[in-house]
Amino acid sequence: MKRPTIHDVAAAAGVSRGTVSRVLNGDRYVSTAARLATERAIAETGYVVNRNARSLVTQRAGSVVMVLSEPQEKIFEDPNYSTTIRTAIRRLATRDLSLVMMIAGDAGDRERVLRYVKGGHADGVLLQSTHAGDPLVDALDGIHIPAVSCGAVIGRENVIPYAACDERGGAQQMTRYLVEQGRRKIAMITGPMDTPGGIQRLEGFADVLGRKASKKLIEHGDWTRLSGESAMARLLERSPDIDAVFAASDVMAAGALSTLRAAGRRVPEDVALGGFDDSAVAMSTHPALTTIRQPLAEIAEETVRLLLDLIDGAEHVPSVTVPTRLIIRDSA
Amino acid sequence: MKRPTIHDVAAAAGVSRGTVSRVLNGDRYVSTAARLATERAIAETGYVVNRNARSLVTQRAGSVVMVLSEPQEKIFEDPNYSTTIRTAIRRLATRDLSLVMMIAGDAGDRERVLRYVKGGHADGVLLQSTHAGDPLVDALDGIHIPAVSCGAVIGRENVIPYAACDERGGAQQMTRYLVEQGRRKIAMITGPMDTPGGIQRLEGFADVLGRKASKKLIEHGDWTRLSGESAMARLLERSPDIDAVFAASDVMAAGALSTLRAAGRRVPEDVALGGFDDSAVAMSTHPALTTIRQPLAEIAEETVRLLLDLIDGAEHVPSVTVPTRLIIRDSA
DNA sequence: CGGGCTACTGTGCACGTTCACAGAACGATT
DNA sequence: AATCGTTCTGTGAACGTGCACAGTAGCCCG
């Protein structure tokens, strides 16, 4: 049993293909009689438009591709993805766009993404956690395709519009809070220094501490729990009198917490601990993490909105940053 | 500047469309001279095949849709999704299939999914966390489309093939371990009773305890941390002399842990605590959770394999279950 | 030398839409 | 009565492929 086509609907409704097409796309100039008849015929036949045929002539794909950049394999245990994906799906659905997922880890992956986009199979690209210097960014810029990023792309802030939380301001909030609590020797565990969360959260930290933010009190992690553990260990060894730590993510904070506990430091009595993200893990540690909440759903929402604007023909859209909030729990 | 078509390639190579098409699809009967010429022409022109045109004639979509079932909004903070998605993308990519994501929360969402599939825009469907009685399952079965599930669909085990961990066996492992540790009054916090993880983990629990698994020692959660907290509170109130708890997920175990701590119970000294999943949260609680590891990547891998078999024309594929492993940490 | 096989190539058609255009019906205006 | 504009409808062409088919060339065999 073949799927009904627009011809079948036209026949059933007693009108022509053109009229059915007009009804389908909400064109002007369709009599109510014809409209009713076709709508009935559509319902009766169970017709559903063939996107391929449509795309072939309209040159529009009807889908958006979301590219996950993941340099090192699997290490990235980012809990943010689910929220972003969910939000993007919902938001795109209102425009009848579907979401295609792709991974851009190595050169082969990037090639695949590029082929897909070049083939005209996506109306836009949604970048996720792209690191500085990713060759895909320039490649995409070379083609003429709407692209936005969820979180800034370091070094390409003016090429790829983005929506992100106020990374720097959030870090300032946390650092200021730690200072206000009377902490004097505050260390930081940063994220990778080729991501906005890595760079800008450190900047916010330095903004508040000024020259008190010595190199000795800064260690770099890679967002993973394990890196938080070892960064904390290095910090303790170098400066045993630390009385506060700001980790650039909750997951790394959880790692730092383990190390602190193993070293016999009480949190928050001996060492105050601050995280960032307010992800699920923040509630499951003991003590629960004092952290900076970034409104992920809102960020995702904005990112998609920017992309839709570009797809609709906007020449240039302004990046947006949304404010963060200090969530005080038990670790600081 | 228009995108090059198969015509352009043919012209550049000095052959016909047919020959280019044959080269593209790896057909027999192409002379090496012609092959080389077309391959060169493809590289020169930067040609990439138009999937829409291809799909239009082959009646194949070149993509698979993954459906996330999420009855209640947002509550589902499942850390498993990312792994499954990632694995599916990778695995499908080897067959040049792309992954489209959709959500099936309410009737409108299901309608959308159905339209998409009916429109012939997917070669197969990958179900994720589908609950018992989901009308989408029967609807999909009504159409003739390959569909598999990641985790069994309760009540439709014979309709939708699946790959899953040995839920029941895993629960037995944990329960047996708790018994071996000398625990006498063991309670359980289950998942929702319309999911395989809810039902079968409880079955495994009951298998080992026999009639000692009284109703009084069983409480139901909904996978969330909060539900773990409150289930634990109810258990403590009803049976203060509990000396072990098996939570059907790590996240719920983390919630139970909070409640236990608030009630002044030491873990594992007073109460042993077991989780399930071995998700990221298992390492961030204190004490770290003793839990049952389910090999998510492997399960996802198998699920996709089953789907590919169906797409390739297999009439019927056998569901597979992969073994779990007891991970002993500090909570039991 | 004719016939059959193999290896290869080119061409017309179909896939299911949208879009531009031509034209019909009809009332209003000159 | 002729012209015009508005609203509505049908039709042919195009989008870029794959596939069936016909056809060509070369070779071997009887």
State yes or no: pLDDT of A75 exceeds 80: no
pLDDT 10s digits, A116-146: 998 889 999 999 989 999 999 999 999 889 9
Residue B93 with chain A: CB contacts under 8 Å: 102-103, 109, 112
Between positions 129 and 188 of B, the ones with CB within 8 A of A are none
Asked whether B251 and B225 are in contact (CB, 8 A), the reply is yes
pLDDT, tens digit, 9 for 90 and up, residues B257-302: 999 999 999 999 999 999 999 998 999 999 999 999 999 999 999 9
Split at pLDDT 50, 70, 90, the class of B78 is: low
pTM of the predicted protein model? 0.92
Partner B contacted by A120 (CB < 8 A): yes
Locate A48 and state its tokens: 């559903």
Q: Note whether A214 contacts B: Cβ–Cβ < 8 A.
A: no
Q: Are B29 and B21 in contact (CB under 8 A)?
A: no
CA distance A82 to A219: 29
pLDDT at B215 over 60: yes
Among B69, B177, B74, residue whose Cα is nearest residue B113: B69
Instruction: Tell me which protein residue sits closest to nucleotide C14, measuring alpha carbon to C1'.
Output: B57
- The angle at the Cα of A270, spanning A266 to A273, to the nearest 5 degrees, equals 80
Is residue B82 predicted with pLDDT exceeding 90? no
Q: Which residue of B has its CA nearest to A69?
A: B86
- What is the rounded CA–CA span in Å between residue A8 and residue A47? 9
Q: Which residues pair with B24 in a beta bridge?
A: none
> Is residue A5 a contact partner of residue A52, using CB atoms and an 8 Å limit?
no
Residues near B117 by beta carbon (within 8 Å), at least 6 away in sequence: B65, B125, B140, B143, B145
At how many degrees (to 10) do helices A135-142 and A107-118 cross?
Answer: 20
Residue with tokens 């930290």: A205
Across chain B, what does the average pLDDT equal? 93
**Structural domains in chain B?**
6-49 (1.10.260.40), 63-165+297-322 (3.40.50.2300), 167-293 (3.40.50.2300)
**Among candidates A82, A281, A286 on the partner chain, residue whose Cβ is nearest the Cβ of B81:** A82
Q: Is B214 on the interface with A (CB under 8 A)?
A: no
Chain-chain contact of B98 with A99 (C-beta, under 8 angstroms): no
Q: In the beta sheet, which residues pair with residue A187? A: A245
- The pLDDT tens digits of the residues spanning B132-189 come to 999 999 999 998 899 999 999 999 999 999 999 999 999 999 999 999 999 999 999 9
A49 contacts B120? CB cut-off 8 A: no
Cβ atoms of residues B245 and B214 within 8 Å = no
User: Residue A249 CA to nucleotide C17 C1', Å?
Assistant: 50
Closest by alpha carbon to B131, among B108, B154, B114? Answer: B154
At a 7 A CB cut-off, the residues bordering strand D are: A 14-19, 22, 28-31, 33-34, 53, 56-57; B 2-3, 5-7, 17-18, 21, 24-25, 47, 49-50, 53-54, 56-58
Rounded to the nearest integer, the mean pLDDT of chain A is: 93
Backbone angles phi, psi at B232, to 5 degrees: -65, -40
How far is residue A268's CA from residue A246's CA, in Å, rounded to a whole number?
Answer: 12
Asked whether A306 and A163 are in contact (CB, 8 A), the reply is yes
Q: Which nucleotide shows the minimum CA-to-C1' distance to residue A6?
A: C16
Q: Which nucleotide shows the minimum CA-to-C1' distance to residue B30?
A: C8
Taking only the tens place, the pLDDT of each residue in A224-277 is 999 999 999 999 999 999 999 999 999 999 999 999 999 999 999 999 999 999
Per-residue confidence (pLDDT) for residue B259, from 0 to 100:
97
Candidates B51, B90, B280; nearest CB to A77: B280
**Residue A72: predicted pLDDT:** 60
Whole-number pLDDT of residue A78: 64
- CB-CB contact of A306 with A320 (8 Å): yes
